[in-house]
A = this chain, B = another copy of it.
Amino acid sequence: MASSEHELIAKLVERLPPPGSRVRVASGDDAAIVEPSGAATATSIDAIVEGVHFTLPQFPLAAAGRKALAAALSDLAAMGAEPGEAYVALGAPEHLDPEQLLEVGEGLAEVAEREQVAVAGGDVTRSPVLMLCVACVGHERPGARLVTRAGAEAGDVVAVTGELGGAAAALELLSADRADGEPAIEDEIRGRLLARQLDPRPRIAAGRALAAAGAGAMIDVSDGLGADLGQLARASAVAIEISLERVPVAEGVAEVVGDEDRGRELALASGEEFELLTCIPPDRFADAAAAVERSGYRLTSIGEVGEGERGAVSDDAGRRIEALGFDHMRGSRAGSGDSGDSADSA
């Protein structure tokens, strides 16, 4: 390796936005020192691994950096927290040179800048594949309690931000890039789909709006809508009934997978969507939807919290929704309900 670790770290830190006034000591010490905010903190940790969450060279290196920080921020968005500080461990494989590692850093820096997160510390180590682990601390906002998965109540509207299926469709497109036949979709729609993987946007403003509007429970769609509905239902000990027809499917998804039915299936199973799934009292839904819209996204009611079997998720015909989610342990889309459970414990 031509550049020493010390130089590499210095160059990585150079690319980051300044850490802000609450960070008393940032990179360069044993630990970062952050001044107390006086508010409760929400802390998430997420690791993304080459070959599991992304593949090279289909993924630009900056996209790996963006995705790692976005995934950790999405967890904070789902609590309605204000992003604060991020800590990044970078596992660097021998097949990447320092310039390429800096591209990963550029991606991190881009998201940190846009979402106003201080990257306050990090660790660089050798690893057989590119690996990024991000711990992210958010702060409770004055007047808006952090929202867990556990507060859904019977009668709540079940709603989701944005549109689904795009993240899985983007993976199809990225692998189709190498093969011959590509689906015929417009460049603009194709670009929007690819961005779901290459530049995912955590729904921080929407999460803030939903928390302020009185959402009772919230989760980000990281394992697939079906699986994440199951998580919400179990954590809140409620039954959820959704209408499959109301699930918002991203434009272009049907074209990528062949038809609308398969598009809808994909929208139910697609992980890493980073949309927010929430349960909110019906009298607050209109205000919440308006507030989410101001943040740039739609809020779509897809069902309601019912009185049935606790932890159960069904459609309006009474059919059980299987947890067809992304299996983090297998690195593949799970076919059975059993293995679709989330790997994310905080």
Contact check, B9 vs A43: say whether CB atoms are below 8 A apart. no
Q: Which of A12, A79, A327, A329 gathers most chain B CB within 10 Å?
A: A329
Contact check, B343 vs A125: say whether CB atoms are below 8 A apart. yes
A214 to B133, CA, bound (A): 35
Q: Mark A122-153, 1 if CB is under 8 A from B, else 0.
A: 11111111010101111010000010111000
Residue of B nearest to A328 (CB): B125
Which residues from 23 to 59 on chain A have a C-beta closer than 8 Å to any C-beta of chain B?
Answer: 24-49, 51-53
A288 at the interface (CB under 8 A from B): no
Chain B min CB distance to A237 (Å): 13
A125 to B71, CA, bound (A): 13
Contact check, B87 vs A123: say whether CB atoms are below 8 A apart. no
Chain B min CB distance to A98 (Å): 10
Chain B min CB distance to A314 (Å): 20
Contact check, A123 vs B34: say whether CB atoms are below 8 A apart. no
Contact check, A122 vs B91: say whether CB atoms are below 8 A apart. no
Residues of B within 8 A of A177 (CB): none
Residue of B nearest to A228 (CB): B30
A200 at the interface (CB under 8 A from B): no
Q: Mark A1-36, 1 if CB is under 8 A from B, else 0.
A: 100111011001100000000001111111111111
Contact check, A89 vs B45: say whether CB atoms are below 8 A apart. yes
Contact check, B125 vs A346: say whether CB atoms are below 8 A apart. no
Q: Mark A331-346, 1 if CB is under 8 A from B, else 0.
A: 1000000110111111
Contact check, A29 vs B148: say whether CB atoms are below 8 A apart. yes
Residue from the list B31, B45, B125 in contact with A44, Cβ < 8 A:
B31
Residues of B within 8 A of A41 (CB): 33-34, 36
Contact check, A40 vs B30: say whether CB atoms are below 8 A apart. no
A6 to B234, CA, bound (A): 12
Residue of B nearest to A150 (CB): B29
How many subunits of this chain does the assembly comprise? 2
Residue from the list B32, B52, B341, B344 in contact with A43, Cβ < 8 A:
B32
A275 at the interface (CB under 8 A from B): no
Chain B min CB distance to A122 (Å): 5
Chain B min CB distance to A253 (Å): 25
Q: Which of A8, A31, A128, A331 gathers most chain B CB within 10 Å?
A: A31
Residues of B within 8 A of A330 (CB): 1, 126
A121 at the interface (CB under 8 A from B): yes
Residues of B within 8 A of A45 (CB): 87-89, 121-123, 133, 135
Residue of B nearest to A34 (CB): B41
A125 to B135, CA, bound (A): 15
Contact check, A148 vs B36: say whether CB atoms are below 8 A apart. no
Contact check, B121 vs A328: say whether CB atoms are below 8 A apart. no
Residues of B within 8 A of A213 (CB): none
Q: Please give 19 more A-B residue pairs, beta carbons under 8 A apart, in addition to A30-B220, A30-B346.
A: A5-B327, A5-B339, A5-B341, A8-B329, A9-B343, A25-B146, A29-B79, A30-B44, A31-B81, A33-B41, A43-B85, A45-B133, A46-B89, A49-B91, A87-B346, A123-B346, A124-B345, A126-B328, A126-B330
